[in-house]
Amino acid sequence: MTRRSRISDIAEAAGVSIASVSKALNNRSGVGNESRERILEAAARLDYKHKTADVADAFPSGVAVVTTAALYLNSQFYEGVIQGALDAAKEAGVPAKVHLMTPDIETGSVNVERLVADEGACLLLVGLDHPVLIEQVVRSHAPAVILNGIDRTMRLSCVLPDNRSAGWLATTRLLSEGHTEIVHVSRLFRTSLKERFDGFRDAMQEAGIAIDPDRHLFDLMAAGVLEPGMVNALTDAMQKGRYAKATAFVCSNDIMALGVIDALRARGSSIPRDYSVIGMDDISIAQHSNPALTTLRIEREELGRVGWEMLRERALNSQARVRRIGMAVRIIERGTVGPPRDYLRSQK
For the chain, 348 residues long, give each residue's pLDDT as a single digit of tens: 456 677 778 888 999 877 677 778 766 666 788 888 898 898 888 887 655 456 777 788 889 999 998 888 767 889 999 999 999 999 888 999 999 999 987 888 999 988 887 777 899 999 999 999 999 999 988 999 999 999 999 999 999 999 999 999 999 999 999 999 999 999 998 888 999 999 999 999 999 999 999 999 999 999 998 888 899 999 999 999 999 999 999 999 999 999 999 999 999 999 999 999 999 999 989 999 889 999 999 999 999 999 999 999 988 888 889 999 999 999 999 999 999 986 544 443
Q: How far apart are CA 160 and CA 82, in angstroms?
A: 13
From CA 202, how far away is CA 196, in angstroms rounded?
A: 10
Residue 2 lies in a domain: no
User: What CATH number is given to the structural domain containing 175?
Assistant: 3.40.50.2300
| Contact predicate 57/7, CB 8 Å | yes
Residues 169 and 20 in one domain: no
Into how many domains does the chain fold? 3
Does residue 308 form part of some domain?
yes
287/317 same-domain check: no
* Full domain range(s) for residue 318: 58-161+300-327
Residues 130 and 190 in one domain: no
Residues 210-265 pLDDT 10s: 999 999 999 999 999 888 889 999 999 999 999 999 999 999 999 999 999 999 99
Residues paired with 51 in a beta bridge: none
Pairing state between β 182-186 and 248-251:
parallel
